């Protein structure tokens, strides 16, 4: 409101835009909304911690988006609240260790699906038992076992992934 004559002083400079765009693309690959990429991107390239209000003003996103975006980023361990405990508002800074980022993503977005997948396969195995035709049942059992193998592989891969990314 207090910018007279000249452009909005909160506008992103070209480099900031480039970085934000980079992360917007990045999070889309992970299936996360663009606002997540914008927020993380701006934090990533900022030398100082930013408040929710800073993000709203500089990215031109709504308070709602910023609030929800920050919540998700916190749950992923991708941002943390900056020190200053006695400040009125809270400021955020990015976690930049790949280990932390990958770990959060695996924990929040991948593991739950793996778990629910295992449950569903168990239920599938039960349904398969009720099939009358023995030949059909044999085929189905093979397929269910295949799914179980997939899940086991998935379970084995995640820790390795985390180890490889954490250094």
Partner DNA sequence: AGTATTGTTCAATTTTTATTGAACAAATAG
Partner DNA sequence: CTATTTGTTCAATAAAAATTGAACAATACT
The residues binding a second copy (CB under 8 A) are 14-15, 18-19, 22, 25-26, 29, 31, 44-45, 47, 96, 98, 109-110, 113, 116-117, 120-121, 123-124, 127-128, 131, 136, 139-140, 143, 146-147, 149-150, 153, 156-157, 160-161, 164-165
Q: Which does 62 bind (CB under 5 to 8 A by kind): a second copy, DNA, none?
A: DNA
Nearest to 113 by CA among 77, 82, 143, 158: 158
Q: Does 78 bind DNA (CB under 7 A)?
A: no
Q: Does 52 bind DNA (CB under 7 A)?
A: yes
Question: Which is nearer to a second copy, 85 or 135 (by Cβ)?
Answer: 135
Q: How far is the CB of 122 from a second copy (least distance, A)?
A: 11
Q: Are 73 and 35 in contact (CB under 8 A)?
A: no
Q: Which does 121 bind (CB under 5 to 8 A by kind): DNA, a second copy, none?
A: a second copy
Give the distance from CA 103 to its chain's centroid: 10
Backbone angles phi, psi at 21, to 5 degrees: -60, -40
Query: Cβ-count burial of 167 within 10 angstroms (0-12 exposed, 13-18 middle, 19+ buried)?
Result: exposed
Question: Which is nearer to DNA, 20 or 102 (by Cβ)?
Answer: 20
Q: How far is the CB of 86 from a second copy (least distance, A)?
A: 26
Q: How far is the CB of 107 from DNA (least distance, A)?
A: 19
Helices (H), 30-133: 34-45, 52-59, 63-75, 98-105, 111-129
B/e letters for 29-61, b = 16+ CB within 10 Å, e = fewer, are: eeebebbbbbbbbbbbbbeebbbbebbbbbbeb
- Which residues of the shown chain bind DNA in the complex (CB under 7 A)? 28, 31-36, 51-53, 60-65, 67-71, 88-90
């Amino acid at each position: 409101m207090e910018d007279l004559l000249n452009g909005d002083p909160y506008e992103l400079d070209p480099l900031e835009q480039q970085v934000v765009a980079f992360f917007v693309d990045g999070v889309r690959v992970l299936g996360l909304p663009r606002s997540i990429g914008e927020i993380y991107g701006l934090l990533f390239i900022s030398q100082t911690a930013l408040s929710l209000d800073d993000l709203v003003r500089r990215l031109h996103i709504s308070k709602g988006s910023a609030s929800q975006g920050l919540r998700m980023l916190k749950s992923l361990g991708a941002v943390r609240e900056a020190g200053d405990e006695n400040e009125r508002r809270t400021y955020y800074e990015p976690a930049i260790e790949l280990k932390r980022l990958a770990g959060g993503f695996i924990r929040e977005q991948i593991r739950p699906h793996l778990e629910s997948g295992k449950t569903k396969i168990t239920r599938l195995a039960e349904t398969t038992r009720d099939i009358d035709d023995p030949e059909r049942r044999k085929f189905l059992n093979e397929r269910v076992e295949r799914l179980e193998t997939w899940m086991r592989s998935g379970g084995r891969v995640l820790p390795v992934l985390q180890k490889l990314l954490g250094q």
